[in-house]
Amino acid sequence: MNGGRTRVAVVGAGIGGLTLGIALQRAGVTVDLYERADELREVGAAVALSANGTRELYRLGVGEALDAVSTQPTELIYRDGRTAERIAAHTGGADYRARFGAPYWGIHRVDLQQTLAAAADPAHLHLGRVVTAVSDQGDGATITFHDGSTVTADVVVGADGVHSVVRDAVCGPGNGPVYSGSSAFRGLVKRSDLPSLPDPLAIQFWAGPHAHLLHYPMGGEARGDDTVNFFAVLCGPERWSGGNVEVPDGELLAGFEGWHPAVREMLAAVPQSPRWPLLSQPPLSRWTRGRVVLIGDACHAMLPHHGQGANQSIEDAVVLADLLAATDPDTALATYPRGRRARTRAVARSAWDTGTLLHLPDDDVAGLAERDARFKSYLDANAWVHEYAAATTAEDVA
């Protein structure tokens, strides 16, 4: 074991950064996390975590605490967005857990982030630290902060998300994600405000021409949380520059004209959110430069239609942590992308394909038949996503 000899600095204390921090601390590696936010409070948004992610959170000892604030969807259901016909259904809950060895959770992001932060050593979590640049020094790397101060470590990890500053240091500027041609609205609704919704405890995709709705229960039934998170995707507009925008009231509902009443009821149950551009990272030619390395959205931001971005960040984090704990930094950084590139690229491609299937027009009769068949075989065909064990990957590539 390389143990405590390597000093690691992580830029970003999001899902990937915090998981990496905990994993390195558990392995006895010195690690400091630098987060630009003054407080960890991503209120209002949710995330779904599948067995490939939750298995690792159990391995790190935070599984029970997270389970207590999560809801396990009873089923995964695909429906026609206009008629509500069940196209396909797969059992969730205990069956899913038994099959894949770990649960599927719907959880508030703030609960996830705060539980992870509580498990990390607070003395090494530095909030309010905005990183402006990172440079490789050959036998280490230096972080520069907005106030001009610097920190040097043996390894610097960019876990700073989709608009990563560290990615610029690794790949050069202009290599970030691109707009996918689709955009989204999201909201949190009480189940009691959704009287028309069939199967409210399931995770459900409602598919239709040029749009889809995804929703799942979250927040931990045991503590009386009956929140449903929804994510409504519209194809278009054709071009987008910048981030989220406020759009005129009614734009979301207009995109779901003629859809089933349960869909429209959900969308109308809360004030319309800003409209989000959905971004996707073209494959990067490199994930490391000297002693600087990327994980998570910083190197492979993907469409959310597979619910895998956060799970892939968790997988990256534990594979990199296992390698840094087991070997010297140069070997670890040379080995890490070999274990992760093909996997994350396959998941990102699959998320893109899922979006295409969810948005097929009515006149694509052959396409719709194929869509229905793929939804019916979804869990078997995608078992490779859910059964993955990151610990084995680190051993295989080391």
Q: How many residues bind ligand FAD (CB under 6 A)?
A: 32
| Binds ligand FAD by CB under 6 A, chosen from 310, 320, 347, 390 | 310
Say whether residue 354 binds ligand FAD (CB under 6 A). no
Say whether residue 112 binds ligand FAD (CB under 6 A). no
**Taking the chain, what is the end-to-end CA distance rounded to the nearest angstrom?**
12
Total number of residues shown for the chain: 398
Is cis: bond before 195, omega within 30 of 0? no
Site mask, ligand FAD, residues 31-50, x = CB under 6 A?
A: ---xxxx---------xx--
Say whether residue 11 binds ligand FAD (CB under 6 A). yes
Can you tell me the distance from the alpha carbon of 245 to that of 255, in angstroms, rounded to the nearest whole number? 16
Phi, psi of 382 (to 5 degrees): -110, 20
| Binds ligand FAD by CB under 6 A, chosen from 6, 9, 10, 17 | 17
Chain position carrying tokens 């969807």: 73
Residue 216 designated active-site = yes
Q: In the complex, what is the shortest distance from the CB of residue 327 to ligand FAD, in angstroms, rounded to a whole number?
A: 23
Say whether residue 212 binds ligand FAD (CB under 6 A). no
Say whether residue 313 binds ligand FAD (CB under 6 A). yes
Do 285 and 171 touch, CB atoms closer than 8 A? yes
Say whether residue 170 binds ligand FAD (CB under 6 A). no
- Please say which residue, 82 or 124, places its beta carbon nearer to ligand FAD: 124
| Binds ligand FAD by CB under 6 A, chosen from 115, 182, 311, 350 | 311
- Side chain identity, residue 241: S
For ligand FAD, the nearest residue by Cβ is 14
Say whether residue 220 binds ligand FAD (CB under 6 A). no
Stretch that binds ligand FAD, among 170-178, 241-249, 304-312, 382-390 (CB under 6 A): 304-312
Say whether residue 231 binds ligand FAD (CB under 6 A). yes
Can you tell me the distance from the alpha carbon of 386 to that of 364, in angstroms, rounded to the nearest whole number? 30
Q: b/e map of 89-109 (b: 16 or more CB within 10 Å)?
A: bbebbeebeeebebbbbbbbb
Active-site residue (options: 34, 96, 104, 216): 216
Smallest CA-to-CA distance from 20 within 54, 56, 47 is with 56
Stretch that binds ligand FAD, among 56-64, 117-125, 157-165, 319-327 (CB under 6 A): 157-165
- Please say which residue, 105 or 375, places its beta carbon nearer to ligand FAD: 105
DSSP of 53-114: HHHHHHHTT-HHHHHTTEE--SEEEEEETTT--EEEEEE-HHHHHHHHSS--EEEEHHHHHH
Chain position carrying tokens 């597979």: 306
Say whether residue 219 binds ligand FAD (CB under 6 A). no
Q: Binding residues for ligand FAD, per CB under 6 A? A: 11-17, 34-37, 47-48, 130-131, 159-161, 165, 184, 186, 231, 296-298, 304, 307-311, 313
Q: Where in the sequence numbering do the catalytic residues fall?
A: 216
